[in-house]
Structure 1
Amino acid sequence: MEFEARNSTEEALYQYKVGLGTFTKKMPKLAEHYNAFTQECFKEGVLSQKQKQLIALGISLYSQDEYCIIYHTKGCLDQGCTEEEIFEAIGVTAAFGGGASMSQAVTLVQECIEELNQLKQ
């Protein structure tokens, strides 16, 4: 059965999942260690999972990593971030990353928020 995405955000998340699955089959030990490491990094701690997702979104924007931008925008929403909190994090990122970070934020992040919110309905 072929997956049919309803929007570009959902398609990108699916492509990432498929790619990670393929990588995991080819490099199971490495994938296991990477997944364990990232799970540990994103656990609730002194910083909340919400704060960690906002940080990850900022780093994703700064590094221009579209898959991570989509993934961590979803992570922010999943952790209960408001649009205002996301946009504040974008502002901090743009202070460091300038126009390149801002261009991803005003296009891709806003598109993701809209599409992910539509999926909840």
Structure 2
Amino acid sequence: MSMEQCLHEYKQGLGTFTQQMPHVGRAFNAFTEACFAEGELSKKEKQLIALAISVAKQDEYCTIYHTKGCIDEGATEKEIFEACAVASALAGGATMSQSVTLVQQCVDEFTRMH
């Protein structure tokens, strides 16, 4: 499955969840939009933080989503992998394995699309 298909699957699932639980779905979306809005930290910095947390937690869908978010906000491959390296320093080998496989696949696919 391509990374784009994974994103579509996630968004479709979130839409279904929001239909079933509209108050929760809308509140979650509003909360995350507020968290990722430009503030003291740039949108790019916030995406890099989210990516680092995603790989440290081994959350594949969030890793895919936030790798694309990093690219969409103008992060370079070096910035993306530096964020992953910091996460790996704190969370160990499992994080590194996600960084050198899933994140690399995302970067390869999503940068071709830009």
Task: State the TM bucket, normalised to the shorter chain.
Answer: over 0.9
Structure 2: gaps spanning 5 or more residues: none
Match of 2:100 in 1: 106
Task: Tell whether 2:74 aligns with 1:74.
Answer: no
- Three-state SS of the structure 2 residue aligned to 1:81 is coil
1:45 aligns with 2:47: no
1:118 alignment counterpart: 112
Q: State the shift of 1:81 in Å.
A: 0.1
> How far off is 1:119 after superposition?
2.1
Q: Please report how far the alpha carbon of residue 100 of structure 1 lies from its aligned counterpart in structure 2 after TM superposition.
A: 0.4
Number of corresponding residues? 114
Among 8, 13, 18, the alignment partner of 1:19 is 13
Q: CA deviation at 1:64?
A: 0.4
- TM-score, normalised via structure 2 length: 0.97
Counterpart residue type for residue 45 of structure 2: Q
| Structure 1 unaligned spans of 5+ | 1-6
Q: Separation in 2 of the partners of 1:118 and 1:46?
A: 31
Partner of 1:97: 91
Question: Structure 1, residues 61-86: CA drift from partner, whole Å, max 9, x if none?
Answer: 01000000000000000000000101
Aligned partners of 2:42 and 2:110: how far apart in 1? 22
* TM-score normalised over the length of structure 1: 0.92
How far 1:50 moved relative to its partner? 0.4
Tell which structure's C-alpha radius of gyration is larger: 1
Cα distance between partner residues in 2 of 1:83 and 1:89: 10
- Output the aligned Cα RMSD: 0.8
